[in-house]
Structure 1
């Protein structure tokens, strides 16, 4: 959901040639599958493209390929440590942030997984706002 929402916002801001993104999970149980039907339904409701999205697992190369890795919750942050390469000579390692860190006014700091909770609308709303703020952050930080 977060990748589709953020991609939509980046495209709207005409920054898709400057910002690339890809989503990946820390678990391997949904590899190759499209987003959950509830996620697709909420994205369709807001006319956000999700065609072609398929689950994949984080890999060590992601820490070199990307500047930022955005986690949904503290468990993801912890699990990402097992994927991160310890040291790659001459390469910059991605910094890890939680998505809701970009929405400091939120009491909840972890995005709940709607796969388990069924609260797709609530998750959509928190992800949308946090992605907007992430985009503002990136525009400022990266001079876009």
Structure 2
């Protein structure tokens, strides 16, 4: 089974949003038996907490569920257990790379799956307050990631 772990700093804004959006895309494409998804943070400040209210509000407005999503910290075993580790920004990439002892083959930036974008990372709405911008980038990135997975794996 293919597996995707989305990673941000605290696992309450960007990565749980990506997990929920990607899970919704998998359900719509009838691929939940072929691809699993989860999210984690590089920090432990919010472990056990639900997604940020701004994330929940935006996802509810889009009809996307956050049921069952609670913050957790990334664990070294995640690097062995997930096919794709998808980070939101450069700091997350560096933190995950350190955890992976420098091995970066399965670590990707979400924006790398967005064609023709000028964004180099997904801005953190914890600081910007712009959950619309984050949702737009996350949705585009998840769409591109799913297309990449389908192109490179015989799952359909």
Q: TM-score, normalised by structure 1?
A: 0.92
Matched residue, 1:72: 88
In structure 2, C-alpha distance between the alignment counterparts of 1:94 and 1:68, rounded to whole Å = 9
In angstroms, what is the RMSD of aligned CA positions? Answer: 1.5
Give the number of the structure whose residues are more often strand, by fraction.
2
CA contact (8 A) 1:3 1:23 kept: yes
Matched residue, 1:114: 125
Q: 5+ residue gaps in structure 1?
A: 88-92
In structure 1, C-alpha distance between the alignment counterparts of 2:140 and 2:102, rounded to whole Å = 33
State the aligned residue count. 139
- Whose Rg is larger? 1
In structure 1, C-alpha distance between the alignment counterparts of 2:46 and 2:29, rounded to whole Å = 31
Matched residue, 1:50: 66
CA contact (8 A) 1:66 1:94 kept: no
Instruction: Kindly state the Cα deviation for residue 82 of structure 1 after the two structures are TM-superposed.
Output: 2.7
Q: TM-score, normalised by structure 2?
A: 0.85
Instruction: Kindly state the Cα deviation for residue 23 of structure 1 after the two structures are TM-superposed.
Output: 0.1
Q: 5+ residue gaps in structure 2?
A: 1-16
Q: Say whether residues 1:11 and 2:27 are aligned partners.
A: yes
Q: Say whether residues 1:141 and 2:152 are aligned partners.
A: yes
Instruction: Kindly state the Cα deviation for residue 94 of structure 1 after the two structures are TM-superposed.
Output: 6.3
In the TM superposition, structure 1's runs of 4+ consecutive aligned residues that sit over 4 Å from their partners are none
